[in-house]
Amino acid sequence: MTLFYIITLSDWGFVYKRGFTIKISFSTIDMTNIRKKTLPCKFAEKKTKSDSFLSIILISFVYIENDDKMKKLIFCFAVCCLAACQAHQEGALDVDKQVRYCTDQVSQALKELRQSNGSYDYSMEPRNILQEDQQRGWNCRKASPQEWCSGFWPGILWMEYGITGNDSLRQYAEGYTEALSMLTREPVFDHDIGFLTLCSYGKGYEQTGSDDYKQFMLAAADSLATLYNNKVGTILSWPRHVKDYGGHNTIMDNMINLELLFWASENGGSQQLRDIAVTHAETTMQHQFREDGSCYHVAVYDTLTGQFLRGVTHQGYADSSMWARGQSWAIYGYTMVYRFTKDQHFLDFAQKVTDIYLKRLKETSNDWVPLWDMDDPRGLDAPKDASAACVVASALLELCQYVEPSKGKVYYDAAIGMLSDLSNNYQSREKNVSFLLHSTGHHPAGSEIDASIIYADYYYLEALLRLRKLSEKNA
C-alpha cells in the first residue's frame, strides 16, 4: 500500500467578509480500489488579490492500492477539481446581478428626485452623497458649463434605458440631457464640454441615433477645438487658471475629451478635429509623464512659445505623487486613442501607464481599489477612491482585447478583481441610492472625501456593461 498526498475538492469555501459562506462538498465518491480516510489535517489558504474572500482547500490523505492506472486517475481528478475551483472563483462576479442592482438603485434615486407634484426638475443634476448626509438621495447641482459632472446622470439613465427598454427611463434621460443644451449656445467654458457632451448626448445618440444629438455633438466638438493652442500642441484645460499656473495648462482628465474630437471627425466633422486629438495625445505623452509611466495631473506650457515648463498636481497629494484618478484617466484615454488610431505606439503607451498603475496598486492597497493617492504617507489609513477603480476597470475591459492573449488575461483578470471588490465591499445598497461608497473627489480642497460621487457610478455601470458584452462575444 502506498501513501499519497493529493489536494481534493473535499471542502471548498468562499468566505466573504459579510459572513456569507458558500460551501461545495463532494462527500460521496465511489471508486473501486480506493479506501478514503480523512485524517486530522491543515488548511492551505490561498489569498487572492481581493480582500473580499479567501479560497480554502482542504488537504486530505488518500490511501490507494498500488495501482498505476488508479494513481493516474486520482491525479487527473485532483487537477480537474482544482481547475474547476479556479473557474468558479473567476466566475464569482455575477454581472447580471450587479446590473440589476444598479437598475434598482436608479429606480430608488428617481423616487427621491421626484418632486411633490410628480414632476422632475431636469436642470438639477445629481452630484454626490456625502458621508455626513442623513438623506438617501443625491445632492444635486444646477446643470451648467461650470458643473463638469452634469452629464453623468443622464448617461446613467441612457445606459439603463438600453438595459431595460423602459420608455419612462428614456423620457427622464431626454429631460436631463436637454438640460445641457446651453453648452453649444455660448463660448466654451473649459475642456469639460467633452465630459458633459459624451456622457449625455453621446450615450443618448448610441441608444437613439437621433440626428439632433449628432448635430449637438458635432457643434460641441468644434467648441472644444477652439481651446487648442497649436504652439503648445494641446487643448487648454482651464482658461480661468492660466494666470494661476503662469501659462497654458493641460490636465490629464483632458485625455477623455479627445474622444469627442475623434468621434466628430468620423461622423461629419473636419479632419482637423482628429489631427488636434492625435497631437494632444502625443504632446501629453511626451511631457506629462515620468519615466516609469506615472503622470502629472497638470502640465504647464508657455502660452506663446509652447515650451513645456513643469508638471504639477492640482488634486493629488504632491507634484511627484501618483494621484489614482489622474492615472486612471491616462489608462482610459490612451486605450481610447488606440481604438480610433490603431497606432501601435499609443497601444504600447496605454500598457505602460496601466502596468505602473497595477504595480503600485499591488504595493499600496489591500484590495483592487486604490488609495486616493498612492503616495499618501498615511498608507491604508488614507481614503480610498472607488471612482478610480471604476474608470480603470472599464478601460481594461477594452484594453484586454487589443493586446496579445497572455497580457490580455492579466488585464481582464484585474478588471474582474476590481469589479468584484467594488460589488462585494463598496456598494451603498440600503445606505443611499448611489451604486457605490468610498470615492474621493478633491482631497486637497477637503471636498467629497469618502463619498458617493456620480462619476464613480457612471463608470461602474459602463464597466459592467462592457464585461457583459465581452462575455456574450466570447460565448
Active site residues: 192, 253
Q: Where are the beta strands (DSSP E) in 327-466?
A: 452-453
Residue 126: strand pairing partners: 140
Alpha-carbon distance of 259 to 254, in angstroms, equals 10
Q: Which of 15, 115, 2, 5 is nearest to 55 (CA)?
A: 15
180 neighbors 154 (Cβ within 8 angstroms):
yes
**291 secondary structure, DSSP code:** T
Which single residue is written with the C-alpha cell 453623468?
152
117 neighbors 103 (Cβ within 8 angstroms):
no
CA angle 352, 436, 170 (to 5 degrees): 100
Helices 271-287 and 254-265, packing angle to 10 deg: 150
Alpha-carbon distance of 335 to 39, in angstroms, equals 53
* String of DSSP letters for 158-200: HHHHHHH--HHHHHHHHHHHHTTGGGGSS---STTHHHHHIII
Residue 398 burial (CB count, 10 A): 20
Residue 451 to residues 42, 131, 446: CA-CA distances in angstroms? 42, 5, 11
C-alpha cell of residue 443: 482631497
Q: Which of 159, 256, 152, 257 is nearest to 208 (CA)?
A: 159
The residue type found at 427 is Q
Long-range contacts of 236-242 (CB under 8 A, 24+ apart): 236/190, 236/191, 237/190, 237/191, 237/298, 238/190, 238/191, 239/189, 239/190, 240/190, 242/303
**39 secondary structure, DSSP code:** P
Q: Which of 153, 140, 101 is nearest to 429 (CA)?
A: 101
Which single residue is written with the C-alpha cell 474608470?
391
